[in-house]
Structure 1
Amino acid sequence: MFSDTSSSLIRLNIGGKKFCTTVDTLTQREPDSMLAAMFSGRHAVCADSGKGYIFVDRDGKHFRHILNWLRDGVVSSLSDSEYSELLREAEYFQLLGLMDEITNVLNKRKEDEELNTELTRTDIIKCIQSEKVRFRGVNISGLDLSKLDLSYVDFSYACIKNVFFSRANLQCAKFRDVDAEGSIFHNATLRECEFTGANLRGALLAGANLQSANLQDACLIDCSFCGADLRSAHLQTADLTNANLEGANLEGANLKGAKLHNANLKGANLQRAYLRHVNLRDTDLEGAKLDGANLLGAIR
């Protein structure tokens, strides 16, 4: 016979597995549970002869997780199937707090899995058929999205490393703060796109139409803009170190504060471009057109 006046130490035999715990552990965290009721002192609980274990006819596989919950309020990290088994035990012992915690963990896992699910080209095509398409913050690295109409799509904050956008229509698309390292925009339409703060290191934009595109503060190191149309583009404080702009049309472009160290502007059209205070000392300007360019304070 158990009595709360004898000892706070409780010996339990759960389906053949033996555990030792205390009255406080079994009663304090979940005061409305079956375990709390059993050891509250209001009921007589019989122990077996010998070592005095109280037998409960349940599978003892997960009872240690129940005890850890009652002690610390923490659910152990388990597989989904193990969580389902533990949930059944929590239901039996009427541990409502543990049931809620397990349900929250399973729901969070499901949400994380949905967020991390890789999209395919087919998924993208289905999505762009709806209005106001957004892929903000998603990871679509390595996909082939060439020749698709992705105009006005919002890719802001997404990871689009090594994505193929060749010949795609991306007019007015948003790429704010994306990680697009190594992506291919060959001959793509990027008119009025926003690349503010984007990482385009090593990207290929040869032949792309970037008229009036906003590339302010973008990392354009090692990019290829050969033959690209950058008329009236915003390139303020962009990093164009080692970029290849040979034959690019930068007429009317704003390059205020841009870094052009070792950039190749051979044969580029820089007519009426804004190049005030830009350091052009290590820039290859052979054959470049600078008629009407604002070079006040530029270093050459």
Structure 2
Amino acid sequence: MGSSVPLSSSKVLLDIGGKKYSTTIDTLTQREPHSMLAAMFSGRHTVSEDPETGVVFVDRDGKHFRHVLNWLREGVIPILTDSEYQELLREAEYYQLLGLVEHINVHLNRKKDGEGSGPELTRKDVIKCIQSKRVRFRGVNLSGLNLSKLDLSYVDFSYACIQKTCFRGANLQKAKFGDVEADGSDFQDALLRECEFIGANLSGAVLDRAHLQSANLQDACLIGGSLCEADLRTAHLQNAKLADANLHGANLEGANLKGAKLSGANLKSANLQRAYLREVDLRDTQLEGAKLGGANLLGAIR
């Protein structure tokens, strides 16, 4: 069954190869007005949709469509491997997103020429951005920079490459680190209250004594990371990968660890009072001296 979709900010439900997405007509038509997606939802064509759910099905691999949507929303490309860039390039070409195709090709050509391996900005550049209120570093390569003790609160680092970057003692309250590559970075003593780390790669990162109250670390990779004495009260750690992480003395009171992977994790002397540990596998977790009063351990494997 088809219907003519008006050009507006109305909600659109998409099924891309089995993966469900929700967006708007404006997002699909404004940044790349000559693309196939813009043509589909311009109102000039009939779009085939499910008569019961209103979902529009597109027979493509849905893996990278979130990157397509983020490009259309924000004009940024994520940090990916070369093979993943090639996959995203194929999708961009299929949807006739010429701007995205150009950006990916520029990035791949830089890597081919040996560029792009170092940070795109200096510490001085970052400070200038903060002072001028231009505080968005989405998708930027800041790897290896010393950004310690700076006020970076509310800054958007989503999709950035911040490997081995030093944020020691920095104010990062409510900053966004969604899907960043931050393996080996140093957040020791940093203020990270209510930060967003959804899907972030923090493997081997140092977050000792970091203030992470109510931070969102869902689906984050913290394998081998150090969070000694970190304050993670009421933090969101659903499905986080914490294998072999060192959380000795960490405060996880009221934290949600549903689905978290804790194999080999060190939780000695940690405060897990009122934490959500339902059905979590704790068999290979070190819990000597940990406080578990009021924790939800229903179905937990110990």
Would you call these one fold, judging by a TM-score over 0.5?
Answer: yes
CA offset digits 1:214-260 (Å, max 9, x no partner): 00000000010000000000000000000000000000000000000
State the partner residue of 1:268. 270
State the partner residue of 2:180. 178
2:254 to 252, 255, 268: 252
Which residue type is aligned with residue 173 of structure 1? A
State the partner residue of 1:136. 138
2:124 to 111, 119, 122: 122
RMSD across aligned positions (CA) = 1.9
Q: Separation in 2 of the partners of 1:122 and 1:261?
A: 41
1:132 Cα deviation from its structure 2 partner: 5.5
Which residue type is aligned with residue 153 of structure 2? S
Q: 1:153 aligned to 2:155? A: yes
1:131 Cα deviation from its structure 2 partner: 2.8
Q: Separation in 2 of the partners of 1:198 and 1:286?
A: 29
1:130 Cα deviation from its structure 2 partner: 2.7
CA offset digits 1:246-297 (Å, max 9, x no partner): 0000000000000000000000000000000000000000000000000001
Which residue type is aligned with residue 301 of structure 2? I
Which residue type is aligned with residue 166 of structure 2? F
Gaps (5+ residues) in structure 2?
1-101
- Kept after mapping to 2: 8 A contact 1:237/1:256: yes
State the partner residue of 1:97. none
Q: Partner of 1:125: helix, strand, or coil?
A: helix
Q: Separation in 2 of the partners of 1:139 and 1:185?
A: 17
Q: Partner of 2:255: helix, strand, or coil?
A: coil
Q: Separation in 2 of the partners of 1:128 and 1:141?
A: 18
- Kept after mapping to 2: 8 A contact 1:262/1:283: yes
State the partner residue of 1:236. 238
Q: Partner of 1:128: helix, strand, or coil?
A: helix
1:256–1:132 distance in 2 versus 1, CA, 3 Å: farther
Which residue type is aligned with residue 179 of structure 2? D
Q: Separation in 2 of the partners of 1:222 and 1:279?
A: 18
1:291 to 287, 290, 293: 293
Q: Partner of 2:131: helix, strand, or coil?
A: coil
Which residue type is aligned with residue 136 of structure 1? R
Higher Cα Rg, which structure: 1
Q: 1:192 aligned to 2:214? A: no
Which residue type is aligned with residue 195 of structure 2? C
Worse overlay, 277-286 or 124-133? 124-133
1:277–1:109 distance in 2 versus 1, CA, 3 Å: closer
Q: Separation in 2 of the partners of 1:218 and 1:227?
A: 19
1:295–1:138 distance in 2 versus 1, CA, 3 Å: same
1:109 Cα deviation from its structure 2 partner: 6.9
1:129 Cα deviation from its structure 2 partner: 1.4
1:133 Cα deviation from its structure 2 partner: 1.2
State the partner residue of 2:44. none
State the partner residue of 1:73. none
CA offset digits 1:31-57 (Å, max 9, x no partner): xxxxxxxxxxxxxxxxxxxxxxxxxxx
Q: Separation in 2 of the partners of 1:127 and 1:187?
A: 23
State the partner residue of 2:216. 214
1:128 Cα deviation from its structure 2 partner: 1.0
Gaps (5+ residues) in structure 1?
1-104
Q: Separation in 2 of the partners of 1:109 and 1:294?
A: 50
1:132–1:298 distance in 2 versus 1, CA, 3 Å: farther
Q: Separation in 2 of the partners of 1:246 and 1:132?
A: 38
1:177–1:109 distance in 2 versus 1, CA, 3 Å: closer
Q: Partner of 2:136: helix, strand, or coil?
A: coil
Q: Partner of 1:123: helix, strand, or coil?
A: helix
